[in-house]
Amino acid sequence: MFLEQKTISRELATRMLEAAVDKAEELRVAVNVAIVDNGGHLIAFTRMDHAPLLSVDIAQNKAYTAAAFGLPTHEWYELIKDEPSLKSGIVHTNRLTVFGGGYPVRCGDELAGGIGVSGGTLEEDQACCEAALLQIKEEVNK
Amino acid sequence: MFLEQKTISRELATRMLEAAVDKAEELRVAVNVAIVDNGGHLIAFTRMDHAPLLSVDIAQNKAYTAAAFGLPTHEWYELIKDEPSLKSGIVHTNRLTVFGGGYPVRCGDELAGGIGVSGGTLEEDQACCEAALLQIKEEVNK
Amino acid sequence: MFLEQKTISRELATRMLEAAVDKAEELRVAVNVAIVDNGGHLIAFTRMDHAPLLSVDIAQNKAYTAAAFGLPTHEWYELIKDEPSLKSGIVHTNRLTVFGGGYPVRCGDELAGGIGVSGGTLEEDQACCEAALLQIKEEVNK
Amino acid sequence: MFLEQKTISRELATRMLEAAVDKAEELRVAVNVAIVDNGGHLIAFTRMDHAPLLSVDIAQNKAYTAAAFGLPTHEWYELIKDEPSLKSGIVHTNRLTVFGGGYPVRCGDELAGGIGVSGGTLEEDQACCEAALLQIKEEVNK
């Protein structure tokens, strides 16, 4: 028996990038934005002019983390903060990002991929992700 | 717009492992068998007693290659042998395996994952893969 | 003089996977399960349908850690927490996992390999490992 | 004394992606397209629906190679083929890609970044790069 999955199309990913960049411009911050598929692999990426180089990988890792576990990255710290072994240990997991700016992308109940933004404050990065998700809310709420 | 994908279930992967191992026992060879999903990530793996350690990764890389490009790994060399730049260059691609023993797993026309076997000769490894695909032929030919 | 070692057979590893998955189903959680030999190398692996992708590597790292040091992974934090240099340093060791869900597999007194489970809470992951060890207790207590 | 550098803006990178994708659609092939800056770091990336997963990294490596040495990747093999030590050795350089589908992006005489396309034949990948460069020829020929 094969399983059915949803993943993000290029068309959807491109619209998400644009919406995240529009929000970043409104916030006057330069960010990197990454969209990954349900396997955590890159579909679309954009770096705004003068966005920090360090954030190129962070944006991709946030998107990966969200797609690979199904949680927004800002919920991870709450999950691990009271369990010292996780708090000091799980943060070493390859590519795992436990701070805000990554969100899973769902189609109804199904995990279909992730978006990650990096370059601003956590609040700014999250606001850019949320703008991208809002842009595709009709598909997401199907 | 989200895209629909098929991937391999645990139930299907487990049946494939068993069929590949049965064939290897019939051939009196000890192999490693790996099944990956449509994102190239491991779903199921088994190492027969005394199978070569070197083949643990090779089996996984063959399965990855098949899922990541949609071709049986034994077709790669034909593809690159007359183009010197590919022949000497593309073999350095991370995890790419250009010799036999990896097959894509399809559900009808759709690429759903891959299987890789390593530990025997190329012919033996391929025979184990083919036995696994035969085991799920009803699902594959849907 | 050569040394004698014990390691886990495919037959034993397969029974362990099944017992861990049965327990996970009882707990209604989807996990990844990995069994490694006394060299820390993968023998058997299974991913339940919809288990988190992030846990594919974590399960393998837990099994590796348990086999490579002979301690259950949940005992590591106790070991390092009062020595600041270990607490901040040793967690960077490649593949070392200091939270629960990995157990050594012994044959009598001898370290023969490890099991790792990831995808649930620490308690759920540990319960799946323990179910797997219980399944082979006759061999373990030899 | 500081040096002046040119690099590719997001606006230019986005136009290049679109032109490469338009050409790929005309050729009826699904490709990955990557644009990197003068430091070889990703600026923009897009994966067409159903483009091979294996090509995600290859496209980025082609763009990197072109930006990091200033040559189209299809000129590399000619450069190394008659010098056995290079032919067998330099292909092991991390990320170096010696087959077609990567082009430097120049502003006048200055190296400003690179583009890489992967997913089709070498000729198709190169045609997509050339379409992207044609799209920005006014800026390139400044």
Q: Residues C80, C86: contact at Cβ < 8 Å?
A: yes
Per the prediction, chain D carries an average pLDDT of 96
Residue C142 has pLDDT above 80, yes or no: no
Query: Quick one: pLDDT at residue C139?
Result: 80
In chain A, which residue's Cα lies nearest the Cα of B111? A2
Nearest to C37 by CA among C82, C89, C104, C84: C104
In chain A, which residue's Cα lies nearest the Cα of D56? A42
What does the angle CA A105 – CA C121 – CA A35 come to, to the nearest 5 degrees? Answer: 20
pLDDT digits (tens, 9 = 90+) for D78-128: 999 999 999 999 999 999 999 999 999 999 999 999 999 999 999 999 999
CA distance B65 to chain C (A): 18
**Domains contained in chain B, CATH given:** 14-140 (3.30.450.150)
Q: Residue D35 has which token pair?
A: 């644009």
Residue D139 has pLDDT above 90, yes or no: no
Query: Quick one: pLDDT at residue A138?
Result: 84
Query: Quick one: pLDDT at residue A141?
Result: 81
Rounded-to-integer distance, Cα D131 and Cα D23, Å = 7
Mutate which of D79, D99, D122, D126 to disrupt the B interface (most B C-beta within 10 Å)?
D99
Q: Residues D140, D133: contact at Cβ < 8 Å?
A: yes
Please count the CA atoms within 13 angstroms of the CA of D67 that sit on its side-chain side: 26
Rounded-to-integer distance, Cα A82 and Cα C44, Å = 33
Rounded-to-integer distance, Cα C101 and Cα C59, Å = 8
Return the sign of the alpha-carbon dihedral for residues B15, B16, B17, B21. positive
Structure ipTM: 0.95
In chain B, which residue's Cα lies nearest the Cα of C48? B10
CA distance B1 to chain D (A): 11
Residue D142 has pLDDT above 80, yes or no: no
Query: Quick one: pLDDT at residue A140?
Result: 81
Query: Taking CB atoms and an 8 Å limit, are C99 and A92 in contact across chains?
Result: no
Neighbours of D137 (CB within 10 A): 9
In chain C, which residue's Cα lies nearest the Cα of B60? C42
Enumerate the residues of chain C whose CB falls inside 8 A of the CB of residue A86: 99, 122
Q: Residue D67 has which token pair?
A: 């930006």
Q: Which residues of chain B have pLDDT under 70?
A: 142
Enumerate the residues of chain D whose CB falls inside 8 A of the CB of residue A49: 9-11
Strands annotated E in A9-137: 32-36, 42-47, 102-107, 110-118
Q: How far is CA A74 from the centre of its chain?
A: 10
* DSSP secondary structure string for all residues of A63-97: HHHHHHHSS-GGGHHHHHTT-HHHHHHGGGSTT--
For a pLDDT cut of 70, what percent of chain A falls above it? 99
Q: Please compute the mean of the pLDDT values over residues D54-65 and round it to a whole number.
A: 98
In chain C, which residue's Cα lies nearest the Cα of A87? C99
Enumerate the residues of chain B whose CB falls inside 8 A of the CB of residue C48: 10
Q: Residues A99, A134: contact at Cβ < 8 Å?
A: no
Query: Which of residues 9 through 28 in chain D touch B, CB cutoff 8 A?
Result: none
Please name the residue that has the structure tokens 């109940």: A109
Query: Quick one: pLDDT at residue A104?
Result: 98
In chain A, which residue's Cα lies nearest the Cα of B108? A2
Query: Taking CB atoms and an 8 Å limit, are B7 and A5 in contact across chains?
Result: yes
CA distance D1 to chain B (A): 40
Nearest to C47 by CA among A7, B9, A93: B9
> In this complex, which chains have at least 3 CB pairs below 8 Å with chain D?
A, B
Rounded-to-integer distance, Cα A29 and Cα B98, Å = 45
Q: Residue D33 has which token pair?
A: 């397209």
Query: Quick one: pLDDT at residue B123?
Result: 98
**Interior/surface letters C65-78, b for 16+ CB within 10 angstroms, e for the rest:** bbbbbebbbbebbe
pTM greater than 0.95 (yes/no): yes
Q: Residues A33, A126: contact at Cβ < 8 Å?
A: no
Backbone angles phi, psi at A47, to 5 degrees: -115, 125
Q: Residues D92, B92: contact at Cβ < 8 Å?
A: yes
pLDDT digits (tens, 9 = 90+) for B47-84: 999 999 999 999 999 999 999 999 999 999 999 999 99
Q: Which candidate from C9, C13, C53 shows the least CB-CB separation from B41?
A: C53
Query: Taking CB atoms and an 8 Å limit, are A112 and B2 in contact across chains?
Result: yes
Q: How far is CA C54 from the centre of its chain?
A: 16
Rg of chain A on CA atoms, in Å = 14
**Cβ of residue A78 closer than 8 Å to a chain C Cβ:** no
DSSP tally for chain C: helices H, then strands E: 6, 4
Query: Quick one: pLDDT at residue A53?
Result: 96
Residue A142 has pLDDT above 80, yes or no: no
What DSSP state is assigned to residue D102? E
Query: Quick one: pLDDT at residue C7?
Result: 96
Rounded-to-integer distance, Cα C124 and Cα A73, Å = 22
Per the prediction, chain C carries an average pLDDT of 96
Enumerate the residues of chain A whose CB falls inside 8 A of the CB of residue D56: 41-42
Enumerate the residues of chain B whose CB falls inside 8 A of the CB of residue C41: 47, 53, 56
What DSSP state is assigned to residue C19? H
What does the angle CA B124 – CA B128 – CA B129 come to, to the nearest 5 degrees? Answer: 120
Q: Residue D107 has which token pair?
A: 């502003």
Single-letter residue type at B96:
L
**Cβ of residue B67 closer than 8 Å to a chain D Cβ:** yes
> In this complex, which chains have at least 3 CB pairs below 8 Å with chain B?
A, C, D
Question: Do the chains D and A touch each other, judged by at least 3 C-beta pairs below 8 angstroms?
Answer: yes
Rounded-to-integer distance, Cα A52 and Cα A102, Å = 17
As a 3-state breakdown, chain A gives helix, strand, coil percent values, each rounded to 5, of 50, 25, 30
Q: Residues B50, B119: contact at Cβ < 8 Å?
A: no
**H or E, element range at B117:** strand B110-118
Nearest to A132 by CA among A72, A77, A55, A50: A72
Question: Do the chains D and C touch each other, judged by at least 3 C-beta pairs below 8 angstroms?
Answer: no
In chain D, which residue's Cα lies nearest the Cα of B66? D54
Residue A68 has pLDDT above 80, yes or no: yes
Residue C137 has pLDDT above 80, yes or no: yes
Rounded-to-integer distance, Cα C24 and Cα B35, Å = 21
Q: Residue D70 has which token pair?
A: 């200033």
C1 or A115, which is more confident?
Answer: A115
Single-letter residue type at B10:
R
